[in-house]
Structure 1
C-alpha cells in the first residue's frame, strides 16, 4: 500500500491550477478581476496565439510593494480576508489567494508592479512555479502580469486546448463580460498585435450595453425598473420576446459586480416573459443584482462561477417583479374589452397515419422541381395548445389492398381536395374516409429531398440581394466560421465581416424565403445550440433544419394544394416529414360511422 505524503508546494499549486485555470480565458478572468479589485480605471488585455503563447493583463490600479508582490505568489495569501467571519461579507471579486500562484505554476510568469507613491517598482519572474528573479524595475503605477507558454510543463493539459480561434473567442467573451460588470473601467483587448476593441468608460450601464450590442439592437432595449425588497436590488435591460433563444448565452447576470450563472435567475427571467415566449426559449437580458453579502455564498465553486442563495425565493420575486413591470404595456385611455370565444370540446377520434405498403417507382426529385409558390409571413409567437388525446392505430394493408395500390397510376389519385381548416390544415377525401394533410410537413419533405438530391452535385444557391449581417457571440462566430465549408455545401455561403459580425451571402435556391434575416437568426440558433458536438454540421442535419425552418414560413392556399400533393408524391417518402412526423393522417369511414352511431 502506498504511504500518504504531503504534496510539494509546486505540485499543490498545479493541482489548484487544474480547478482555477481551465484555459487561457480562465487566466484572463482571474487577472482582470484582480485589476478591478485594485481600483483600476483602465485595463488592457493582450493575447497571442489564443493565449497559449502570451497573456498579458495591465492595469493602472493601486499596485503592490515588493513584500506584497512576493506574498501574492504564496498560496492562500490574500488581502481580502482577515478572519472567517469576513467570508460571509465578501464584496471583492477575488478572495481565495489561489489565482496568481496557480497561474505562475503552469506558465513562464512575470509580474511588474509599482505603488502610486513609490519611486520604483518590483519585477518578479517565476518559471513553472520556481522563483527565478526579484529586482527593482521602472514602470507606470499599477500592475502588469504576463503568463507565457501556458501549460508548458503540463503537456497533458496543453493538448486539450482548442484551436487558437476558439481560445481567442473565449478570451474575448470573458473581457466583454467584465466590461459589462464594470462599466466605469476602460477595457482594451488586443489579439496578435491587432486591436479587437477599445471600450471607453461610461457613467451608465446601458451605455456599456450599447457599446457591445451595437446601435441596431440598442434601439430595442427595454429598461427594467429598479426593484427592491428583502435585501435585494435588481435593475437592467431585456430585449423583446422575438429575440428569445434556446441557449442562455445572451443572458448576462452580475451579482454584486460578479458575473454569475444561476438557474434561479434564468427561471425568473423566463417567468417574467410567460405567455410571450414558447417553452424552452430564454429571453435576452442584462441584469445587475445587488444583494446583501450575508444572503449569498460565493465560496461554492473554485472558479467562482456559481453561487448559492440563502433566500432564493426573494431573489426570484424581485426579478419577476422587475421584468413584469418593464414589459407591461403603457396605459391607454381607452382599452377595448376582450371578447372571449367559447369553443366546443374537441372530439376524441381515433386516428392513424396514412402509409403505403408498396409504392410505384418514382423519379429522383431534384431542386428544379421545387417552386417557391407558397408565400411566407413571419411566424407569430404563441402558446401552443395541447392537442386532443387522439389514439393512433396502425393501418394494416391486406394483400388485396396492396394489389389495388400497385395498379393505381399514382398514390396521388387516392385523395380528393375538399376544404381548408383554420387556414392551416387541408381536408382530403380518400376511398377509406377522411384524410387531414399538414401542408407545412409536406413542404418540409419536398424541400428536404430536394436538398438531398443535390448533395452529389453542386447545390443551387440564390444570392441575397442585400447580404445579411448578423452580430454574434465571439464563441459562436468562431464555430460558424470554422464550419463555413459544410454550410456552403448546403447552400449557405457566409464569411466574417469584421468584429463579431458574420455576412451571409446566399441560401439554397429551393427554399421559399422572402425575408432572410429572421430565418437566418433562428437557423443559426438551432445549429449552434441544439446538437451533439461533432454532428451539428452534418449535411443531413443541415438539410433537415433548413427544410423545417423554410416550411414554417409557408402559408398554404387551397388553390395550391393539388400542386403540392403532386410534388409530395414524387418524393421517395411522401408520408412523413424530414423529422418523422406524418404529412397525412387518416380518419377511417368505419371509425367515423362507429363514432356517430351510423349503420354505414
Structure 2
C-alpha cells in the first residue's frame, strides 16, 4: 500500500503555526515588541501603515543578534529563552517557543536587521513567504529592527477578514497598553503613517503612563495597591470607589510582567470592592502579580493570553485582600461638584495612628459616654460599658483608630461642629469645608463592621426579653431561621421554632434606642430567604446576615437625634475601616470643599 502520510514542508508548517500565532496585525506587533522587551530594550518604536496591513516596523535598542543567531531565529522552535522542559515551569520571558518570527515571515515580506552590542557590522535578512531571499551585511546601531510588509500575502482568505485600518490600528494600541504598563521604564512610541499616536517616556511613573494611554479622567481617580500575600505579591492601581461607573472600564492583569486574561482573578479584585460600590459599577483595575517559580503555567495557549495557577484559590484570595486593603487606606468621599476630593483628606497610609478627639469641647462628659453606650454600643446588650482603657482604642467596637487623614479634618481638639439637617443628614463643619453625612448609611456601615467583629469574636446573645415575641412566618422563613440559629444567636437574636409557622424570639440585639426588633427581624429573614442584590453580593453567610441586619437595623431618615447622638454617630463612622460607603456601596458622605464653595459664590 502506498504511503499516504507525509511530513509537511517547513514553509507549510510555518503557515499553519501562523494561523495560531498571527491572527491580525496587532498579533505581529505584540510578538515583536515582546521580543524587544526580552532583549532588554530601553526604547521601542512601532510604526504602522494602513493599520499594519501594508507595513509594520518595530525597532529597539536591545542586545541585538549576530548573524548566526539571526538566521537561527527564523527556524521553528529555535529560541534563546529556554533550554530544557523544566525551564518551561518557571519561564519569565515573553517568547520562548521560537514560533513567532518564522510564522510571521511565512505570511509576509519580512526584513530583519540586527546588530549585537560590540559588533561593528550588522546583518540584514530578507524573506518572502517563508523563503529566504538574501542575507547581507548592513550598517546600523546595536539593536534590532523588524519590518513586515503585505501581511498575509499568501493567505488571501486571512487578509480578507482583516478589519478597517482604523480598527486594526486601535487593536495595535490596545495590545501595546499592557506591555507599556508592565515596563514603565521603557520609552514606547507608536506612529501610524505620519501621525504620532503614543509617545511615553520611560520615567517609571505608572500613573503618568496610564494618563498617557487613557487620559487624565481615569488616571486621576486611581489609588496604589501594594500587598504581599500568601502566594502572590500584588502591585498596581485600582479606581477609587467614588470614581467608578457602570459600563466600560479598563482592566489590565499581568503576572510576572506578562499580560493575561482571567475571569476568576478579575472577580476576586471586584470582591475587594464589596460594600464600597453599588451593584453594576465597574472600577478600573490594573494589577501586577508576582508569584514564585512554578506557581503559574503560561504555556497553556498559543498566544500566551491565559495562565494556569497551581494554587488558584490562594492567589485569588491574595488579590481580593490587596484591593480591600488599598481601599481601606484611601479616602473616597463623594463630592457635590465634579472635582476630585483633595487636600486635607489623605490616604490612610500617610502617617501613624491618631486617636479621635473626644465628643465634648476638649473633654468627654459622663453624659456623652452614656449616649455612646445607648446609641452605638455593641450589637448585643450583654457586654459591660467600655472603661477608659477601652475608650483609648477608639469607638469603632474594636481597636481601629481614626485614620490621620480624617483626624486632620478636625479643627484642633474641639472636633467639628455638627448639625442634623431635615432629620436625615448630619452637616459637619470641618477644616477643609463641609461634610454632609447620610445618617442611615453611616449607621449601616457602623453596624455592619460591628457585627462582623462580633462574629469573629464569637459574640454571645443579646438582650433578654421579659415578654418573648411570637412571630408567624412562612415555612421557608422558618427553615431559614433554623439553619441560621447559631449565627442569629451570635448576632443577638435567640429564635426558637415553636411548631408550624411560628417562631419565638427570646432575646434581641439593642443597637440603639429606636430599634424595632420585630420589624428588623422579619425584614432580615425575608431578605435572606428570598434573596436580594445586597445579600447575593456577599461572600458567605456571615456577611449576608451582617449586611441584611445592618440595613434593617440602622436608624432611618426622619429620626431626630440629639447633640450627643449626632457626635457619636460622626465619631463611630470615622472609626470604621471603610467609612465612606454603606453596605450597598453607596456613599455615606458628600464633601463640599472651601474652594468649591467659593466658586459657587463667584469668589
Q: 1:105–1:245: structure 2 CA closer, same or farther, 3 Å change rule?
A: farther
Counterpart of 1:173 in structure 2 is 174
1:230 aligns with 2:230: yes
The question of whether the paired residues in 1 share the 8 Å contact of 2:198 and 2:212 is answered with no
Q: 1:304–1:194: structure 2 CA closer, same or farther, 3 Å change rule?
A: same
Q: CA deviation at 1:293?
A: 2.3
Q: CA deviation at 1:88?
A: 1.2
The RMSD of aligned alpha carbons is 2.7
Counterpart of 2:376 in structure 1 is none
The question of whether the paired residues in 1 share the 8 Å contact of 2:44 and 2:60 is answered with yes
Deviations 1:69-114 (A, max 9, x none): 0000000000011111111120111101000000000110001000
Q: CA deviation at 1:247?
A: 6.3
Counterpart of 2:311 in structure 1 is 311
CA distance in 2, matches of 1:249, 1:157: 31
Give runs of aligned pairs for residues 10-49 of structure 1, distance below 5 A.
Answer: 10-49=11-50
CA distance in 1, matches of 2:270, 2:125: 49
Q: Which runs of 5+ in 1 are unaligned?
A: 350-381, 387-421, 424-600
Q: 1:245–1:21: structure 2 CA closer, same or farther, 3 Å change rule?
A: farther
Counterpart of 1:100 in structure 2 is 101
Counterpart of 1:320 in structure 2 is 320
CA distance in 2, matches of 1:27, 1:170: 11
Q: 1:348–1:326: structure 2 CA closer, same or farther, 3 Å change rule?
A: closer
Residue correspondences, number: 355
CA distance in 2, matches of 1:180, 1:69: 29
The question of whether the paired residues in 2 share the 8 Å contact of 1:275 and 1:383 is answered with no
The question of whether the paired residues in 2 share the 8 Å contact of 1:296 and 1:309 is answered with yes
Give runs of aligned pairs for residues 48-197 of structure 1, distance below 5 A.
Answer: 48-197=49-198
CA distance in 2, matches of 1:346, 1:253: 40
Counterpart of 1:276 in structure 2 is 276
CA distance in 2, matches of 1:348, 1:304: 47
Q: 1:229–1:216: structure 2 CA closer, same or farther, 3 Å change rule?
A: closer
SS at the partner of 1:11? Answer: helix
Deviations 1:115-153 (A, max 9, x none): 121111000000011111100011111000011000011
SS at the partner of 2:40? Answer: coil
Counterpart of 1:253 in structure 2 is 253
Give runs of aligned pairs for residues 327-366 of structure 1, distance below 5 A.
Answer: 327-328=327-328, 330=348, 333=356, 338=446, 342=516, 343=519, 345=522
SS at the partner of 1:293? Answer: coil
Q: 1:154–1:123: structure 2 CA closer, same or farther, 3 Å change rule?
A: same
CA distance in 1, matches of 2:61, 2:67: 17
Q: CA deviation at 1:230?
A: 3.5
Q: CA deviation at 1:229?
A: 3.3
SS at the partner of 2:314? Answer: helix
Counterpart of 1:9 in structure 2 is 10
CA distance in 2, matches of 1:83, 1:52: 37
Q: CA deviation at 1:204?
A: 3.5
The question of whether the paired residues in 1 share the 8 Å contact of 2:124 and 2:135 is answered with yes
SS at the partner of 1:112? Answer: strand
CA distance in 1, matches of 2:254, 2:205: 15
The question of whether the paired residues in 2 share the 8 Å contact of 1:75 and 1:98 is answered with yes
SS at the partner of 1:319? Answer: helix
1:206 aligns with 2:207: yes
Q: CA deviation at 1:277?
A: 3.1
Q: 1:47–1:249: structure 2 CA closer, same or farther, 3 Å change rule?
A: farther
SS at the partner of 1:294? Answer: coil
Counterpart of 1:534 in structure 2 is none
Counterpart of 1:289 in structure 2 is 289
Q: 1:275–1:23: structure 2 CA closer, same or farther, 3 Å change rule?
A: same
CA distance in 2, matches of 1:246, 1:67: 54
Q: 1:18–1:2: structure 2 CA closer, same or farther, 3 Å change rule?
A: farther
Q: CA deviation at 1:181?
A: 1.1
CA distance in 2, matches of 1:14, 1:205: 38
Deviations 1:220-263 (A, max 9, x none): 21112x22233421111111235546667511111101111112
CA distance in 1, matches of 2:246, 2:100: 33
Deviations 1:443-468 (A, max 9, x none): xxxxxxxxxxxxxxxxxxxxxxxxxx
The question of whether the paired residues in 1 share the 8 Å contact of 2:249 and 2:283 is answered with no
Q: CA deviation at 1:194?
A: 1.3
The question of whether the paired residues in 1 share the 8 Å contact of 2:51 and 2:165 is answered with yes
SS at the partner of 2:68? Answer: helix
CA distance in 2, matches of 1:253, 1:247: 19
Q: CA deviation at 1:209?
A: 2.4
The question of whether the paired residues in 2 share the 8 Å contact of 1:246 and 1:282 is answered with yes
Deviations 1:241-300 (A, max 9, x none): 355466675111111011111122101111101123344543211111111121010100
Q: Which runs of 5+ in 2 are unaligned?
A: 332-347, 358-394, 396-441, 448-510, 527-531, 537-555, 558-603
Q: 1:240–1:15: structure 2 CA closer, same or farther, 3 Å change rule?
A: same
The question of whether the paired residues in 2 share the 8 Å contact of 1:278 and 1:383 is answered with no
The question of whether the paired residues in 1 share the 8 Å contact of 2:108 and 2:128 is answered with yes
The question of whether the paired residues in 2 share the 8 Å contact of 1:41 and 1:186 is answered with yes
Greater mean deviation of Cα atoms: 79-88 or 21-30: 79-88
CA distance in 1, matches of 2:248, 2:75: 37
CA distance in 2, matches of 1:79, 1:348: 63
CA distance in 2, matches of 1:231, 1:202: 29
